[in-house]
Amino acid sequence: MPIYVYKMNKQISTNAIRNTKPVKAIYAKEQEQEAVCVWGINLNIVPFTYTKSETSITITGLKNGVNMQHLRVPEAIEDLPVTLITYDAFKNNTVLKSIKLPNSLNSIGIRAFQGCSGLTSITIPDSVTNISGSAFRGCSGLTSVTIGSGIKFMDSYAFYGCYNLQNIYVTDIVAWCGISGLEGLMEYGSSNK
C-alpha cells in the first residue's frame, strides 16, 4: 500500500500510518503534479514504458493501469537521457491534461499525442529539433503552444485538427522563421513573441 503526502505537510505522526497492510512506499505529491517516491525499497515508480539503447531512452507509452492527468517526463531514466517520445506513445489518451517535456528531448514521433483531447497547452523544449506527422493531431482542447528555439522541422500535419488553438508562442523569432513545415501550425491562432 502506498502513502501520499502533500507538499504542505511538515511532519507525519508515527500514529498516522497504522493499518493492516504493509507500507511499500511513501510519495511526495503536489496539487496536480505527479507523485515522487521519497521512501521505498526496490521500487520502479516510473509510470512510462520505454526502450533503452546504449546512449538514450525512448518513451513508448504508459504502463498498464496508469491513468494520470498530469505527467512529467524525466530528463533521464536509468542514468540515460530521454531523447525521444516514439510513435503512438500517448495516442488517444483523453485523461491526460498536462505533460511537461524534458530538456533532454530531441524528437516527438508520429501520432505521439494524437487525440489527446484533454491537453490544453504544450511547451516544446529548446532541445527538440523535430516534431513528426500528426504528433498533436486532433488535440481539440489545445489552446496554446510554445515552440522552443531548437525546432528545425515540423510536419505540416503535426497540429492538424487543433481547431481551438489560439496562441502560438515562440522563444526565438530567428529560429521560428527557419522552421520547415511551419505552414501547418500557422493555420491556427496568432503568433506571439
Q: What is the arithmetic mean of pLDDT over 127-150?
A: 94
Closest of 73, 76, 127 to residue 96, by C-alpha? 73
Instruction: Give the integer Cα–Cα distance in Å for 105 and 82.
Output: 6
pLDDT digits (tens, 9 = 90+) for 120-133: 999 999 999 999 99
Query: How would residue 179 be classed by pLDDT, with cut points 50, 70 and 90?
Result: confident
Output the CA torsion 9→72→55→145 (10° steps). Answer: -150
Neighbours of 168 (CB within 10 A): 19
Q: Select the more confidently predicted residue: 180 or 159.
A: 159
pLDDT digits (tens, 9 = 90+) for 24-41: 555 555 545 555 444 444
Give the H/E segment covering residue 25. strand 25-29
Q: What is the arithmetic mean of pLDDT over 107-125?
A: 96
Give the H/E segment covering residue 139. none
